[in-house]
Chain A
């Protein structure tokens, strides 16, 4: 069995298209991370400003300056430090961006003119203890991971679609007449597809996290996502989770997504006689939920949101009401992935071994 799985993995990874897609995925990850890094801008409110590395340095310095639990005193201090010295000409100060910390405090504690709006920390965050610091790096990474994991899901489809459909193009008769072709041989195909999806997901996640650490460092991992600058939708997740928790959930959901996609694609692959049909049908099925006019406020989203497409759109899924004791609704993606893989693996195997050579 081990040897058969090795051969199936070799088949998956020796396909030129798979290699192109994998290299493309890593290049896309690197370009997205570097482009985001270079597009950073920050002004410290006094004299220093810059973009790219300089901006990150400014944001990190400001993050370090205010690091710790967010208090009313810190809010006042920040409002004073980042007080606007120029006329806004009617612009809402909440949308002014000088640096990540200024944007975060203005979005919540400033009125239209950039003065304190009178709200206290408890008015905005209730009883939650908000740990602040340099979160911009991790939140940028989280934002990029949504795009990268979407491409990852498509890459897994490209890799998995030929697993059965490719055999129908002429090797199936050799496989099905061999001793283990209808038993271990078919099981090895499913196992190798799952292993390939896990490996590629782990590689992609690791590559992106390493890039994040190299570009932004590790600080902010234990800080709350709720004190995010106005750039990030992550700040709208209504739970006080840390950047580390957010990234961990995203990586978990990337795994559940690719596993679900693997199960779904295996099933379509076994049912399609042509690889191209398996590619197109799997991609269409995966992307179909994007066409549904559902948001997380719709009660149906609790169910539709568990489809693999929404696993990578993690912010929506993580915004659904918590299960309890700090566990987010997104963990339901785990049993869903198990169901997808289970059904996909079993049904695709049965279709393959029952099919008649014509």
Chain B
């Protein structure tokens, strides 16, 4: 299966949210990284066909998704960034409703709903009304609904928002197990989530794709630019503000270790270290965050 965008552009008035994006996605997990306002959510909505592009096309196996209608949506699972539920529905009923919309027959829907509620750790709460759920529980229910139809294309916008570390690990395992022979696209601000499960990273900035590749390949771009150096704890914050710093760690009352991204050694005692995806993220997006 191949999902391809050709010169995909989306404008809102004078603002261009997605600009001439050309990507080809085949089976695998794609992590979509970018600062707030980079165009990630708009790109996902375009891929889900719930926003019309200003120009450009999206092709699934060479066919425009506009013309595929139900056949395309049948392959799709989507977890939006901001969404609501029916507060008076139980978790189980909600999943059964979404399953009916996805065209699952009643028996299959019930089995699948139970299966997914168990997978996201909500089976014991299946008869509880959604209005009693915490934010994390609602998010897990959102993940479950996206996977109901066993989608071939799974698009998850900020799926780990509101999840505690244990739930994030559960989510990562769930996606890893699910992703075979499927296209999974997930956006997140938590770089480590992507780092663990994504085979390919798509980095967006100002509506454009600035990088697409596997984590090793794209972090190689900043090889030799990530440094760690020991500084007096009393000056650590001044140094951190002066450089593009990805981490500050106090190791004693008097000393701290700074992780700095710079073309050359920022301080005399700086030691070159292996770059991570988080370093790359900061390298590209330092100062880009809108919120």
Contacts and interface: CB of A to CB of B under 8 A. Distances in A.
A43 B56 CA distance: 85
Interface string A158-184: 000000000001110111111111110
B101 A179 contact: yes
A356 B12 CA distance: 12
B84 A177 contact: no
Contacts of B82: 170
A243 B146 CA distance: 58
Given A3-B100, A7-B100, A171-B83, A177 B50 contact: yes
A169 B85 CA distance: 9
A7 B100 CA distance: 9
A89 interface: no
A58 to B, nearest CB: 50
Interface string A6-44: 010011001110000000000000000000000000000
B102 A180 contact: yes
Contact of A171 (B85, B102, B106): B85
Interface string B129-159: 0000000000000000100010000000000
Contacts of A15: 88
A102 to B, nearest CB: 55
Contacts of A3: 100, 106
A96 interface: no
Interface in A308-330: none
A284 interface: no
Interface stretch (B31-39, B70-78, B183-191, B200-208): B70-78
A3 B107 CA distance: 12
Contacts, number: 82
B51 A356 contact: yes
B214 interface: no
B89 interface: yes
Given A174-B145, A179-B103, A356-B52, A14 B86 contact: yes
B88 A177 contact: no
Contacts of A10: 89, 93
Contact of B69 (A7, A16, A173, A182): A182
A357 B52 CA distance: 9
B121 interface: no
A4 B101 contact: yes
Contacts of A179: 70, 73-74, 101-103, 149
Q: Of A7, A178, A181, A185, which is in contact with the most chain B CB atoms at under 10 Å from its CB?
A: A178
Nearest to A16: B88
Interface residues on B, range: 20 to 34
Residue among B48, B96, B100 with the highest chain A CB neighbour number at 10 A: B100
A4 B86 CA distance: 15
Given A170-B82, A179-B149, A356 B50 contact: yes
A16 B51 CA distance: 33
B101 A178 contact: yes
Contacts of B224: none
B83 A174 contact: yes
A76 B213 CA distance: 104
A260 to B, nearest CB: 27
Given A4-B101, A178-B98, A182-B69, A171 B50 contact: no
B97 A7 contact: yes
A173 B78 contact: yes
Interface string A213-241: 00000000000000000000000000000
B162 interface: no
Given A15-B88, A182-B69, A185-B101, A177 B106 contact: no
B80 interface: yes
B70 A171 contact: no
A15 B88 CA distance: 7
B185 to A, nearest CB: 13
Given A175-B101, A356-B50, A170 B83 contact: yes
B84 A169 contact: yes
A205 B70 CA distance: 41
Nearest to A173: B80
Given A14-B86, A14-B88, A180 B80 contact: no
B74 to A, nearest CB: 4
Nearest to A8: B97
B145 A357 contact: no
Contacts of A181: 73, 101
Given A173-B83, A178-B101, A357 B73 contact: no
Contact of B45 (A11, A178, A357): A357
Contacts of B89: 10-11, 14
B49 interface: yes
Nearest to B103: A179
A178 B50 CA distance: 11
A170 B48 CA distance: 15
Contact of A176 (B50, B52, B93, B102): B50
25 contacts: A7-B93, A7-B97, A14-B88, A15-B88, A169-B84, A170-B80, A170-B82, A170-B83, A170-B84, A171-B83, A173-B80, A174-B83, A174-B101, A178-B98, A179-B70, A179-B101, A179-B102, A179-B103, A180-B100, A180-B101, A181-B73, A181-B101, A182-B69, A357-B50, A358-B51
Interface of B: 12, 45, 48-52, 69-70, 73-74, 76, 78, 80, 82-86, 88-89, 93, 96-98, 100-103, 106, 145, 149
Given A10-B93, A176-B50, 6 more contacts: A173-B80, A174-B78, A178-B102, A182-B70, A356-B52, A358-B51
